[in-house]
Structure 1
């Protein structure tokens, strides 16, 4: 391809990391420095009902730079990696048209992987199909549902953990909608990013003791900011327990408190423990699954911010246009 016909490079900055790491503050600082737009890649921050428990940016942070894909879906909807990728690609394209730097930030590995590495071309599943699948699950029970699924799609079932309800529902709804199992779809060529899309990946992973302390302190702050009322409103929506929004850390534990089956201190301790466990899983995923990343494992400081601004500026200047 000649220089005249080579597409202009479209740069995307990714600021990834585990929950409570401080990646959102880092992304916002970079948005200030490079006229950027912060685009959410957290599977819980897409839901409008989870402003507190998902630690969505507050009004002051949103005033500093444009934020996209935060609170854009109802908790009654399911957001797949494919659906998120489609929304994210639209926001990235809008940034490039306006001369803004798209800054993807979040901790949902499968979303980031779908964007940077590609995703199988599985059609989006209509809500009515998903509701039908969940109704059948509720009617016949988990064990019977999985046995039926194994008969209907043995190839996919052989690769599933039968105890993972969310994955099982996803596999069943894809089969119901398309007539093909997930295992079959995953043999198709993946939908990859445009050839001219260039990713700069920063992975912010503070020392584990600092991260765990942040997890604990942040959940206490969530309680102060109204997490209990947020869960009370979620319960009033009468969503099925299999709905993704109900899987957010803290929802199950605070629901138990509100329903009177546990006390607040126990709910708090269990939520903090689950947050730490989630952060540990994220650390493992980013370290071993995310490719071509720059790991930042120091505490955030102004000197670190200066270095990152310098590095990103050099990347922007030296990436072939």
Structure 2
């Protein structure tokens, strides 16, 4: 089908958001939608921003990008930190450019923090406090990060639910915010979700298999395929640079961390695949948690026959009313 909705004036042009867990088929759907709609795709992915990190991020290949260009891909070197604030600034600029051309931005990806920051604004949270962090690190040495996660569950159960017990960085930050403000991080973040700050009509879509077991199977198959496609060699090239280490945000990315451990001799190939698949499933679980808290989300089963036409029908009806 072809899109029939009409809009006039750049101020009335919407922003379409397409979110979903990893391996849900977001990119494929976005590209199909672009064939029928005046869409420009803007990537919302904290790993695809990095050059040379292609296989493990499931970045579209060169031929696909020629047919369906993605903005905010390959814009940083892996040695650089790329924050949610930087993403918001870049995404707003790209949205403005797309609207100026009379087209509709389609923001698609799985980095939920980026979506939240762009749609609702960045939380006005206290800045990092060295003394508080040191105190928490000392406590973690005594009881372990699993114990710190248990402590977090007592003061902020909602944050603890979405933060993995092994994610020491986020556990520390959540406890730090509580120590400094006396308020749970989740409640402070929820305050920001009461209203959209993006000055455009927003249409929010989500795609995922209805059965979690199907997604797990997809994750398993895709991880193994990426390993066969040369993921280890890709990480070898990153390691050979000599200026990257596993503490950097780029190398901490799911999958890259496990392959780095393989090349460092800490785990074998079988364990790399097993740990990588488990970590990817945990990422998907966190993404689902974010999506469940999102209001006004039009959800689609990624296994629905004729999925792209069903999404186009929705967009036609919604955009046509703008």
TM bucket (normalised to shorter chain) is 0.7 to 0.9
Is there any run of 5+ residues in structure 2 with no aligned partner, and where?
1-8, 142-154
CA change 1:167–1:273 in 2 (3 A) is closer
1:247 to 246, 252, 256: 252
1:195–1:55 Cα change, 3 Å: closer
Scaled by the length of structure 1, the TM-score of the pair is 0.76
Structure 1 residues 216, 45: CA separation in 2 closer, same or farther (over 3 Å shift)? same
Which whole-Å deviations, capped at 9, do the CAs of 1:250-286 have from their partners, x for residues lacking one?
Answer: 2222222222333212211221121122112212221
Determine whether 1:256 maps to 2:228. Answer: no
Contact 2:119/2:197 (<8 A) preserved? no
d(CA) in 2 for partners of 1:55, 1:226:
12
Q: Is 1:16 paired with 2:10?
A: no
Residue 293 of structure 2 corresponds to residue 289 of structure 1 = yes
Residue in structure 2 matched with residue 27 of structure 1 by the alignment: 30
Match of 1:71 in 2: 74
SS in 2 for 1:215: helix
C-alpha distance in structure 2 between counterparts of 1:90 and 1:268, whole Å: 38
Residue 55 of structure 1 deviates from its aligned partner by: 0.5
1:225 aligns with 2:229: yes
Secondary structure in 2 matching 1:18: coil
Q: 1:122 to 1:34 in 2, by over 3 A?
A: farther
- Cα distance in 2, alignment partners of residues 318 and 293 from structure 1: 17
Q: What is the CA distance between 1:170 and its match in structure 2? A: 7.2
Cα distance in 2, alignment partners of residues 97 and 122 from structure 1: 33
Counterpart position of 1:143: 137
Determine the C-alpha separation between the residues in 2 that align with 1:74 and 1:311: 38
Report how many residues are paired: 284
**Which residue number corresponds to residue 216 of structure 2?**
212
**Is the Cα contact below 8 Å between 1:11 and 1:198 reproduced in 2?**
yes
Give the Cα–Cα distance (whole angstroms) in 2 for the partners of residues 7 and 314 of structure 1: 19
Q: What are the ranges of 5 or more consecutive residues in structure 1 without an aligned counterpart?
A: 1-5, 148-157, 175-179
The answer to whether the Cα contact below 8 Å between 2:41 and 2:107 also exists between their aligned partners in 1 is yes
Give the whole-Å Cα distance in 1 for the aligned partners of 2:86 and 2:139: 26
Describe how 1:36-55 pairs up with structure 2 within 5 A.
Answer: 36-55=39-58
CA–CA separation in structure 2 for the residues paired with 1:213 and 1:219: 10
Change in Cα spacing, 1:195 to 1:12, as seen in structure 2 (3 Å) is closer
1:149-188 residue pairs with structure 2 within 5 A?
A: 164-167=167-170
* Compared CA separation, residues 277 and 247, structure 1 to 2 (3 A): same
Displacement after TM superposition at 1:166 (Å): 3.3
Q: For residues 87-126 of structure 1, what are the structure 2 equivalents within 5 Å?
A: 87-120=90-123
RMSD of the alignment, in Å? 3.5
| In structure 2, distance between residues paired with 1:101 and 1:84 | 19
Regions of 4+ moved over 6 Å: 158-163, 168-171, 189-192
In structure 1, the partner of 2:308 is 305
The structure-2 alpha-carbon separation of the partners of 1:298 and 1:21, relative to structure 1 and needing over 3 Å to count, comes to closer
